């Protein structure tokens, strides 16, 4: 009934200062939730970007079983058909073939086990950031097939610099025989990802294929989609389409399940924080409503005396809770938007810090999303109404005579 909505709002505005303080307190809680959600979203994007853009790609195709065993003979089945299909995929922006194998690299001073990656410098360039991460030398500038790019940490371990020679030993695909070759350090990169800077080296695709004796075969095709969200979309028909010929196509959540697990944990933490926040909010609402009720007990007695049904009293107090929620949502929504927007412009600097195996390489920018301004306010509104039922039922159950006596 409109009269109760009107009464609820006027009652809320009766003690403006108290309502404003209560609304602000609840609103700050909402703003904090919006900000944390936006920050988490920004952090997720940053981590995905760090993990996928640096080298991994947003998705990849491999021979089934290669991910677990890295056996050199598990090359992509029907490679030409796969490549032909990929060339005609409208949802793909770039793709590049790779050869991957465990190997031993030695210098005159030291040796280290690494993952040797054979890449096509031209098609690799738009997929990964190896070329941009070169800190010394250059990215396969000539056509020397003995060029090798290593990470700065590996260079430290091996105590080598540009132009120094390295010997790389791999196990051949067919026979398992060891194959050695001499390379010259043509570039040193720093991706700020410890595993890569310390444990990876890049050579030309043809050279890696020759060392492994796999002809023109490759172990992996890294993918970059036109829409960056596609890589995380498990329902994309693309994955099924290319999971044949003994191959499996997968997006980054399958490639890095630990990252998805971290995100789930972070989201759960946010919900937990939200729950605790809502608990505090609940006490605030109950306190505010009870203070208001006790001040107006005689009025409730009068309302009951003139024929207001108990359910209508329940409605009235619940609407007051709802009005408080609306006030809080407006205040919290504005505050949440302003704070998040400002930080989304300036960013938060966590660069260089490693979290769950991913190093933040760029500033984290909180991401505003319409969902934050619908989902959380809606939850807050429903929760406030629900919590408001307690004082509301207290007021509704009170006998009119008792209510009037209590105020005298």
Partner 1 sequence: MSENKDVISVKGVTKVYSDNGVPVDALRGIDLTIRTGEFTAIVGPSGSGKTTFLNIISGLDTCSEGEVWLNGKLLSRMSGRELSDFRRDSIGFIFQAYNLIPVLTVEENIEYVMLLQEVPKKERQRRVSDILGMIGLAGFENRLPSKLSGGQQQRVAVARAMVSEPAIILADEPTANLDSTTSGALLDMMRDLNRKTGMTFVFSTHDENVMERAQRLVTLRDGRIHGDKHINVAG
3-state secondary structure of 150: strand
Question: Residue 337 and residue 345: Cα distance in Å, rounded?
Answer: 12
| Smallest separation, CB 323 to partner 1 (Å) | 12
* Closer residue to partner 1, CB minimum distance, 81 or 397: 397
Least Å distance between CB 292 and partner 1?
Answer: 12
Q: Which is nearer to partner 1, 213 or 310 (CB)?
A: 310
- C-alpha distance across the termini of the chain, in Å: 30
Among 156, 151, 146, which Cα is nearest to 180's? 146
Residue pair 19/13 in contact by the 8 Å Cβ criterion: yes
Strand partners, 63: 247
CA-CA-CA-CA dihedral for 64, 68, 72, 76, to nearest 10: 20
Q: How far is the CB of 389 from partner 1 (least distance, A)?
A: 18
CA distance 97 to 321: 61
Nearer to partner 1, 6 or 81 (CB): 6
Shortest separation between residue 46's beta carbon and partner 1, angstroms: 51
What's the min distance (Å) between Cβ of 350 and partner 1?
A: 51
Nearer to partner 1 by C-beta: 75 or 292?
292
CB nearer to partner 1: give 62 or 292: 292
Whichever of 264 and 397 has its CB closer to partner 1, that residue is 397
Question: 214 or 403: whose CB is closer to partner 1?
Answer: 403
Q: What angle do CA 127, 91, 192 make, to 5 degrees?
A: 25
DSSP single-letter state for residue 173: T
d(CA 328, CA 157): 58
Nearer to partner 1, 14 or 206 (CB): 14
**268 contacts: CB under 8 Å, gap ≥ 6:** none
Q: Which residue's CB is nearer to partner 1, number 226 or number 402?
A: 402
Q: 205 vs 398, which CB is nearer to partner 1?
A: 398
Smallest distance, partner 1 to C-beta of residue 16, A? 12
Q: Residue 1 Cβ, how far from partner 1 at the closest point, in Å?
A: 7
Please, what is the angle between helix 310-346 and helix 257-295, to 10°? 140
Q: Are 260 and 234 in contact (CB under 8 A)?
A: no
Residue in 206, 198, 108 with CA at minimum distance from that of residue 151: 198
* Rounded Cα–Cα distance for residues 381 and 385 (Å): 6
Residue 8 C-beta: closest distance to partner 1, Å? 10
**CA separation for the pair 107, 158 (Å, rounded):** 6
CB atoms inside a 10 Å sphere around CB 144: 13
Minimum CB separation of residue 299 from partner 1 in Å reads: 6
Tell the smallest beta-carbon distance from residue 400 to partner 1 (Å): 4
Q: Which residues bind partner 1 (CB under 8 A)?
A: 1, 3, 7, 10-11, 14, 298-299, 301-312, 399-402, 404
**149 near 187, Cβ under 8 Å?**
yes
Contact 127, 57 (CB under 8 A): yes
């Amino acid at each position: 009934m409109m009269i109760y909505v009107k009464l609820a709002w006027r009652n809320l505005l009766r003690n403006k200062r108290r309502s404003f303080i209560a609304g602000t307190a609840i609103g700050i809680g909402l703003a904090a939730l919006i900000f944390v959600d936006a920050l988490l979203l920004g952090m997720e994007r940053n981590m995905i970007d760090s993990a996928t853009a640096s080298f991994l790609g947003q998705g990849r195709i491999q021979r089934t079983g290669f991910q677990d065993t890295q056996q050199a003979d598990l090359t992509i089945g029907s490679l030409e058909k796969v490549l032909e299909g990929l060339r005609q995929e409208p949802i793909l922006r770039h793709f590049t073939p790779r050869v991957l194998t465990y190997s031993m690299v030695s210098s005159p001073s030291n040796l280290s086990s690494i993952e040797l990656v054979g890449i096509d410098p031209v098609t690799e360039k738009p997929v990964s950031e190896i070329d941009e991460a070169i800190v010394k030398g250059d990215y396969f500038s000539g056509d020397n097939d003995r060029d090798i790019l290593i990470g700065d940490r590996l260079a430290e371990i091996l105590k080598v610099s540009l132009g120094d020679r390295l010997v790389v030993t791999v196990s051949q695909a067919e026979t398992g025989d060891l194959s050695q070759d001499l390379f010259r350090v043509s570039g040193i990169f720093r991706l700020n990802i410890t595993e890569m800077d310390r444990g990876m080296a890049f050579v030309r695709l043809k050279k890696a294929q020759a060392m492994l004796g796999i002809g023109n075969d490759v172990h992996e095709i890294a993918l970059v989609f036109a829409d960056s969200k596609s890589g995380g979309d498990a329902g994309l028909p693309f994955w099924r389409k290319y999971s044949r010929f003994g191959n499996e196509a997968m997006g980054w959540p399958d490639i890095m399940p630990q990252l998805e697990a971290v995100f789930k944990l972070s989201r759960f933490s946010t919900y937990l924080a939200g729950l605790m926040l809502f608990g505090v909010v609940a006490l605030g609402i109950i306190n505010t409503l009870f203070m208001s009720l006790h001040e107006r007990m005689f009025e409730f007695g009068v309302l009951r005396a003139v024929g207001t049904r108990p359910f209508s009293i329940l409605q009235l107090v619940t609407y007051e809770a709802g009005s408080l929620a609306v006030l809080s949502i407006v205040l919290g929504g504005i505050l949440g938007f302003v704070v998040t927007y400002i930080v989304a412009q300036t960013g938060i600097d966590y660069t260089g810090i490693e979290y769950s195996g991913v190093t933040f390489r760029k500033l984290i920018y909180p991401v505003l999303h319409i969902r934050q301004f619908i989902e959380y306010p809606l939850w807050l509104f429903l929760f406030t109404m629900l919590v408001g039922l307690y004082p509301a039922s207290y007021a509704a159950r009170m006998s009119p005579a008792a209510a009037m006596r209590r105020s005298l």
